[in-house]
Homo-oligomer: A and B are copies of this chain.
């Protein structure tokens, strides 16, 4: 196993921050049940974006990309469900 350099740690920090970016938004939507200001197109493009990176990560065998994008995919799907269900209420 190669020694990790500071830039590799920075990549891990980036992957971690990417993973948790949408956590507060999902929590807020769940708590307030209010999603009117969320753009459905942001959520749909996010799903496409994250799915693309997931395929990319799987092909490249890059575990950081796979893990980060799996988490973002789950959070985006939750945002989509909240947008569609709370949006109609």
Which residues of A does B touch, CB under 8 Å?
Answer: 7, 10-11, 13-14, 17-18, 20-25, 27-29, 32, 34-42, 45-46, 48-49, 52-53, 55-56, 59-60
Contacts and interface: CB of A to CB of B under 8 A. Distances in A.
Q: Can you tell how many copies of this chain the complex includes? A: 2
A22 B43 CA distance: 9
A21 B46 contact: yes
Given A7-B59, A10-B52, A28-B39, 12 more contacts: A7-B60, A13-B52, A14-B49, A14-B53, A17-B52, A18-B49, A24-B40, A24-B41, A25-B38, A32-B37, A34-B37, A37-B37
Nearest to A18: B49
A39 B25 contact: yes
